[in-house]
Amino acid sequence: MDEWDVCCDWFGMEEFKKIGEQNSSNRQKLPTNHCGSSKPFVKYLEESRDYETQQPVGMIELYRRTNFSSKGWTSLVAEENYDLMQQLKDESEAKGVVPKTEDEILNTVLGVRSGYSKGLGHGALS
């Protein structure tokens, strides 16, 4: 019963309530939400391997799979990001120079923070 009392005390503390309010506020500021539940993006990447070649899908396709469902796009921003990624990929391939990698395109559109690619979390940075 001691562990239960410790949990109840923690959840009742002002410090815990303040952290919860801050986290809730931060989630409201996110420009997009993915539809990938709590599964890590790296796990999605591993599960999306082509059956015959065992090659994973590209990062742009991973973005689509984690931001588009049977209900549609998770947000207008997610759809616009994907369209821009596709456009940059097409332009890069059409120029006749060394095309940008999908990682470079993804980082151009979503940005990069120390330790991970925005929109794809920890472990997705190449």
Give the number of residues written for the chain.
Answer: 126
Pairing of strands 112-113, 121-122: unpaired
Residues 71 and 112 in one domain: yes
pTM of the entire predicted model? 0.65
How many domains are contained in the chain?
2
Q: Which two tokens stand for residue 121?
A: 């979390």
Residues 46 and 17 in one domain: no
Residues whose CB falls within 8 Å of the CB of residue 57, separated by 6 or more in sequence, listed in order: 45, 48, 49, 50, 65
Please say whether the beta carbons of 81 and 119 come within 8 A.
Answer: yes
Mind listing the pLDDT tens digit for each residue in 60-114? 988 898 889 889 998 899 999 999 999 999 888 876 777 888 888 988 898 877 6
Mind listing the pLDDT tens digit for each residue in 10-30? 888 888 888 888 877 776 666
Domain enclosing residue 18, as ranges: 1-30
Residues 85 and 46 in one domain: yes
Residues 53 and 40 in one domain: yes
Q: What is the DSSP string of 81-126?
A: HHHHHHHHHHHHHHTSSPPPPHHHHHHHHH-EETTEETTTEET---
